[in-house]
A = this chain, B = another copy of it.
Amino acid sequence: MTETSMKIRLPVACFIMQIILIIIFGVLVEYDDGTDARKFHELQKTNGTTDIENEFYFRYPSFQDVHVMIFVGFGFLMTFLKRYGFSSVGFNFLIAALALQWATLMQGFFHGMHHGKIHIGVESMINADFCTGAVLISFGAVLGKTSPVQLLVMAIIEVTLFAVNEFILLGPLGAKDAGGSMTIHTFGAYFGLVVARVLYRPNLDKSKHKNGSVYHSDLFAMIGTIYLWMFWPSFNSAITAHGDDQHRTAMNTYYSLASCTLATYGMSALVCHEGKLDMVHIQNAALAGGVAAGTAGEMMLTPFGSMIVGFLAGVISVLGYRFLSPLMESKLKIQDTCGVHNLHGMPGVLGAIVGAITASVASKEVYGDGMADVFPLIASGDIDASTQGVRQAVSLAVTLGMALLGGLITGFILKLPIYGAPPDTACYEDALYWEVPGEEESHGELTTVRTEEGEKLNA
**How often does this chain occur in the complex, in copies?**
3
Q: How many residues of A contact B (CB 8 A)?
A: 154
| Interface core residue of A6, A37, A261, A311 (most chain B CB under 10 Å) | A37
CB contacts (< 8 Å) of A455 on chain B: these are 274
Does A352 sit within 8 A of B, measured CB to CB? Answer: no
A351-376, CB under 8 A of B: which get 1 and which 0? 00000000000000111111101100
Question: Are A243's CB and B10's CB within 8 A?
Answer: no
Does A184 sit within 8 A of B, measured CB to CB? Answer: no
Does A262 sit within 8 A of B, measured CB to CB? Answer: yes
Question: Are A433's CB and B276's CB within 8 A?
Answer: yes
Does A405 sit within 8 A of B, measured CB to CB? Answer: no
Cα A187 to Cα B287 with chains together (Å):
31
Does A36 sit within 8 A of B, measured CB to CB? Answer: yes
Does A41 sit within 8 A of B, measured CB to CB? Answer: yes
Closest chain B CB from A155 CB (angstroms): 11
| Interface core residue of A38, A94, A262, A453 (most chain B CB under 10 Å) | A262
Contact of A234 among B11, B64, B275, B454 (CB under 8 A): B64
CB within 8 Å for A262 and B17 given contacts A68-B230, A219-B85, A274-B455: yes
Question: Are B453's CB and A443's CB within 8 A?
Answer: yes
**29 A-B pairs in the complex with CB atoms less than 8 angstroms apart:** A8-B275, A10-B266, A18-B262, A26-B302, A36-B244, A36-B370, A37-B367, A37-B370, A37-B371, A41-B368, A41-B369, A42-B368, A51-B58, A54-B242, A54-B247, A86-B219, A94-B265, A97-B257, A97-B262, A97-B286, A101-B259, A209-B445, A210-B444, A212-B446, A215-B436, A276-B434, A277-B435, A279-B435, A443-B453
Does A218 sit within 8 A of B, measured CB to CB? Answer: yes
Closest B residue by C-beta to A443: B449
Contact of A71 among B93, B226, B263 (CB under 8 A): B226
- Report the 6 A-B pairs with minimum CB-CB distance, sorted nearest first: A38-B368, A37-B370, A7-B275, A14-B266, A40-B244, A41-B369
Does A227 sit within 8 A of B, measured CB to CB? Answer: yes
Closest chain B CB from A442 CB (angstroms): 10
Closest B residue by C-beta to A444: B209
Cα A278 to Cα B454 with chains together (Å):
13
> Which of A27-35, A334-342, A381-389, A395-403 faces chain B?
A27-35
Does A122 sit within 8 A of B, measured CB to CB? Answer: yes
Question: Are A250's CB and B373's CB within 8 A?
Answer: no
Question: Are A57's CB and B56's CB within 8 A?
Answer: no
CB within 8 Å for A269 and B15 given contacts A56-B243, A370-B40, A449-B443: no
Closest chain B CB from A174 CB (angstroms): 18
Question: Are A247's CB and B304's CB within 8 A?
Answer: no
Given contacts A121-B247, A272-B435, A278-B435, 17 further A-B contacts (CB under 8 A): A5-B274, A6-B275, A7-B274, A34-B244, A41-B368, A42-B368, A45-B369, A50-B53, A60-B61, A60-B250, A90-B277, A93-B226, A97-B261, A97-B262, A148-B265, A209-B444, A439-B440
Contact of A6 among B259, B277, B368 (CB under 8 A): B277
Closest chain B CB from A295 CB (angstroms): 16
Question: Are B300's CB and A37's CB within 8 A?
Answer: yes
Does A427 sit within 8 A of B, measured CB to CB? Answer: no
Closest B residue by C-beta to A234: B64
Question: Are A54's CB and B214's CB within 8 A?
Answer: no
